[in-house]
Amino acid sequence: MTPTKASGLEAWLDVVRDQKMPIFEQTVHQILSISEDDLAPASALASVVLQDASLTTRLLKLANSIAYNPSTTAISTVTRAVIVLGFDAVRDMCLTLTLVDTLLQGPARVRLERELARAMHAATQARALATARGDKSPEEVFIATLLYRVGELAFWCFGNESCERVEQLAAQPGVTLETALERVLGFRLSQLSRRLVHEWRLTDLLKEAIDHPARQDPRIQTVMLGHQIARCAEEHGWHSEEMERLERRAARLIDASETDIRALLQEKAAAAFGMAHDCGASAAARLIPLPDGYGHLVDELEAAEAEPDTPQVGATPPPASHPLPDSRLQLSILRELNAAIESVRCDFNVIMELVLEGLYRGVGLDRVIFALMTPDRRGLKAKYALGLPDELTIAAFQFARPASGTNILFETLDHQLPRLVTLAERERDPRLVPEGLVGLMGIMPFMVAPILINQQSIGLFLADRGLSQRPLDPESFEDFKHFVQQANMGLTLAQSRQRRR
């Protein structure tokens, strides 16, 4: 039900909480939390992305676009995307795609597309200005600008009948959209943005910008200028007195000539157009005003949409409820793994993350766990996992070596042999699988293989298809062993290189 004017701001906050925006809230909060941790590995960001099959597919498509990957080197894994394109670039791509995913389903599509176009255009302009100014984190400026009008985006996404009343009122002579919104709602949408930003604990810069937009702080002014440029381009065009005033302000901000700043802003408008299209928001892309000389981009977009979809190198399969086996993707990931192993900068974590993703998406497994032995070799503890419901489950994967006898985990480490553990085998030997593992994974067949460096066990991979109840066939077991074998070879090679340095 749509709140009435008397319901006020709190009722609208409840609407946003109760509908699909909480999915957006959780994903954004996870990504921003990771990005604020300077010690977070690539796997932390990759893990958030990989839990969403649709986001994974669209991110990799974007990562292989000319805008982000002009070298056209195929990128098949989220982990590799972080390595090649950088943590910040992938983080920004995730946030933009998540925003697009949330909003394209809203009922007021025209208004939503206009707001989305303005947000993406403004964020692209603000990031360019921040980079030119030597900002400490242009990506933070991008995020703050992208989400600055999140209240407007939320309203047009979930407003339903209220959206219709606003449109009817705004169509009357002398009534602006802002006036119509305040009359229907009883509050300004900037107030909704402020409450959402604080409730979702978004970035400090975004909080400062939304609380103190007039503050003479260069970073806040960059956010505001990005939005002013985007709006001015819509309402007055690129050749107007209003745009000239904004160009002079931008030139002073980054200490550049007006000629250079004009070229920069127009170039970034084209970049925003391309980004919106690559993110799947083609309708929003068309609403970004292009300067003279960039009209060919619209023709190219229409030509691309007219062509039937064709498989691309490094493209991912359509998202499914659980990852499906994909032999072509396996080969692509193995190539990326080999490239990583041959790199002089290759390290333990990169190899493990690529193997983890290869097993999960390439072999098509539901749950994959990478666990390391404790320094005293008496215990085993999970380090990374994909397909598990939350961090608490990962933390619960801790096992101590039995005081007497053994179990499948430590038997695998000691004998250094991979195993496909069937239900029949578990019935024959109930002590084979630790009770704690049964509690975590259920009574399912699973595969386990040791991680070896110079023929010494340091940990293991464990994987299954227990969530989807699909069988673990011999072919899947061979693929599983092959990935782990590549990991063992790569780790041994990486360690030998370190010793020679």
CA proximity to 129, closest of 121, 119, 141: 141
Give the span between the Cα atoms of 418 and 472, in whole angstroms.
Answer: 14
Give the span between the Cα atoms of 186 and 148, in whole angstroms.
Answer: 21
pLDDT of residue 367: 93
Give the span between the Cα atoms of 163 and 109, in whole angstroms.
Answer: 11
Burial label, 236 (beta-carbon count in 10 A; 0-12, 13-18, 19+): middle
Residues in the chain: 501
pLDDT of residue 316: 40
pLDDT digits (tens, 9 = 90+) for 430-471: 889 999 999 989 999 999 999 999 889 999 999 999 999 999
Tell me the CATH class for 5-306. Answer: mainly alpha
Can you say how many angstroms the Cα of residue 325 is from the centroid of all Cα atoms in its chain? 23
pLDDT of residue 313: 35
The residue behind tokens 């389903």 is 105
Q: Count of alpha carbons within 13 Å of 112, Cβ hemisphere only? A: 22
Q: How far is CA 118 from CA 36, 287, 345, in A?
A: 26, 8, 40
pLDDT digits (tens, 9 = 90+) for 379-388: 999 988 888 8
Give the span between the Cα atoms of 358 and 372, in whole angstroms.
Answer: 19
Beta bridge partners of 453: 456
Domain with CATH 3.30.450.40 in the chain: 327-500
**DSSP helix/strand/coil, 451:** strand
pLDDT of residue 317: 41
**DSSP helix/strand/coil, 424:** helix
- Give the CA dihedral 236, 237, 243, 246, nearest 10 degrees: 90
Domain with CATH 1.10.3210.10 in the chain: 5-306
pLDDT of residue 104: 64
CA proximity to 74, closest of 408, 281, 336, 443: 336
Q: How far is CA 92 from CA 89, 130, 200, 231, 278, in A?
A: 5, 15, 17, 22, 13
Q: Is 297 in contact with 268 (CB distance < 8 Å)?
A: no
Contacts of 222 (CB under 8 A, 6+ apart): 126, 129, 130, 133, 135, 141, 145, 253
pLDDT of residue 210: 95
Integer-rounded Cα Rg, in Å, for the chain is: 26
Contacts of 284 (CB under 8 A, 6+ apart): 100, 113, 114, 116, 117, 120, 276
Run means of pLDDT, 10 residues per run, the chain, 501 residues:
65 79 68 70 76 83 79 82 83 83 69 91 96 92 92 86 89 91 91 89 89 95 97 96 97 95 95 88 91 83 62 42 87 88 75 91 94 93 84 84 90 95 90 91 94 93 94 94 92 74 57
Give the span between the Cα atoms of 202 and 98, in whole angstroms.
Answer: 15
The superfamily CATH assigns to domain 327-500 is GAF domain (3.30.450.40)
